[in-house]
């Protein structure tokens, strides 16, 4: 499998859960990697983790996790 930049992976797989084997990092952040699994279903990607033991993995959602019409309320108490 080919190592790609994180920018290329993110560009090609929007709004999906991604599992990447990190091949190069800088200051702890992945900059290159091999895409191992991509899916809209988180569970499918998480299952792939056990098949890749011993590898440096990065699991993340590549998109906005909430819809634009979602509202948040913050409560402050002292």
Mean pLDDT of the chain: 92
Residue 68 lies in a domain: no
19 domain-assigned: yes
Three-state DSSP at 59 gives strand
Task: Give the model confidence (pLDDT) of 20-53 as tens digits.
Answer: 999 999 999 999 999 999 999 999 999 999 999 9
Residue numbers of the domain that contains 12: 4-61
Indicate whether 45 belongs to any domain: yes
pTM (predicted TM-score) = 0.81
In a domain, 77, yes or no: no
Number of helices (H) and strands (E) in the chain: give both, helices first: 2, 4
Distance CA 55, CA 47 (A): 15
**DSSP 8-state class, residue 77:** -
Residue-wise pLDDT for 47-58, tens only, equals: 999 999 999 999
Q: Is residue 69 part of a domain?
A: no
76 domain residue, yes or no? no
Residue 2: exposed, middle, or buried by beta-carbon count in 10 A (0-12, 13-18, 19+)? exposed
Say whether 45 sits in a helix, a strand or coil.
helix
Total structural domains within the chain: 1
Residue 29 lies in a domain: yes
């Amino acid at each position: 499998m080919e190592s790609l930049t994180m920018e290329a992976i993110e560009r090609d797989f929007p709004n999906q859960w991604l599992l990447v084997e990190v091949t190069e990092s800088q200051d702890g952040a992945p900059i290159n990697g091999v895409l191992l699994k991509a899916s809209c279903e988180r569970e499918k990607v998480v299952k792939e983790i056990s098949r890749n033991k011993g590898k440096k993995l990065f699991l993340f959602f590549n998109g906005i996790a909430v819809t634009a019409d979602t509202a948040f309320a913050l409560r402050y108490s002292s």
